[in-house]
Amino acid sequence: MNSIAKIIGKIQKEMLITTMENLLTYLHGLEKLYGLDRNGSKLELIKEIYSTMAEFKKVEKPDLPPDVVKVGYKTSYSKRIDYADVYLFSIVSGDWNPIHHDEEFASKTRFKKRVVHGMLTLSLISNALALIPGAVVLVKQSVEYVKPVYIGDTVTAEAEIVEELPKGRYRVKVECKNQNEETVAKGECIILIWKVEKRNNK
C-alpha cells in the first residue's frame, strides 16, 4: 500500500511540475500581451501558484439524507485568498484590472492597496451552496458588496436556507466575512434542489 501511495505521489508531483512548466510559458505570453507588472518576480509567483495547487483540498459534500434540507439549514466555506488566486482568476475571467495587480496604481485609489475581484469573493458562495445536500442549481443571486477584500484575507462564505418556495426552490441568505468577522458581502440567492436519493447497491 505504501508503494502505491509513493507512486501516486510521484505522478501527482510530476503532473504539477509539468503544469508549472506550461504555466511559465503561458505567463510569458500574457506578459507580452497585457504588459503586466506583477510587483514581483515570475519565480515567486510560480512558487505561490504551485503552493496553492499543491495544498488544494476538495471540500466534500456531506453525506446526508435529502430531508435535512429545510429552513434553518446552514453551510459555510472558508478560504485564504492569495495573489496566486487573483492571478489565476484573471486568467479565467479575462479581468486584468490593474487595481487587482498593480500596487502603485491601487495605492492611488480609495482602497490604498490591491483588492480581490468581487466576483472571486462571491465564487466562495457557490461552494457554500454546493455543500447543501442534493443537486444544487443557482437560479438567482442578489448581493451587495460592503467592504473590500484584500490579498491575504481569509473569507468565509455562509449560507442559510430561510424560505422554502414551490417546485423545489429555496431562498437562501448568504454572507461573506473576513478574518476579523467583518461582513464584506451579503445578500440572498434562489436555488433549485433536486433531492438525490441514495441507491441501494445489491
Query: For 107-145, what is each residue's pLDDT tens digit?
Result: 999 999 999 999 999 999 999 999 999 889 999 999 999
Q: Phi, psi at residue 30, to the nearest 5°?
A: -65, -40
CA-CA distance, 90 to 101, in Å (whole number)? 10
Sign of CA dihedral 38, 105, 143, 94: negative
What's the pLDDT at 170? 97
Q: Tell me the three cell numbers of residue 112.
A: 490604498
**Helix, strand and coil percent figures for the chain, each rounded to 5:** 40, 25, 35
pLDDT band for 61, please (50, 70, 90 cuts): confident
| pLDDT at position 60 | 72
> Within 10 Å of residue 167's Cβ, how many Cβ atoms?
5
Q: What is the pLDDT of residue 68?
A: 83
pLDDT at 105 over 90: yes
Class of domain 2-194: alpha beta
Q: Domain map of the chain by residue range?
A: 2-194
Nearest to 47 by CA among 29, 81, 24: 24
CB atoms inside a 10 Å sphere around CB 172? 26
Residue 168, pLDDT above cutoff 80: yes
SS (H, E, C) 62-129: CCCCHHHCCCCCEEEEEEECCHHHHHHHHHHHCCCCHHHCCHHHHHCCCCCCCECCHHHHHHHHHHHH
The cell numbers describing 4, all together, are 502505491
70 pLDDT higher than 70: yes
Is pLDDT of 154 > 80?
yes
- Grid cell digits, residue 104: 502603485
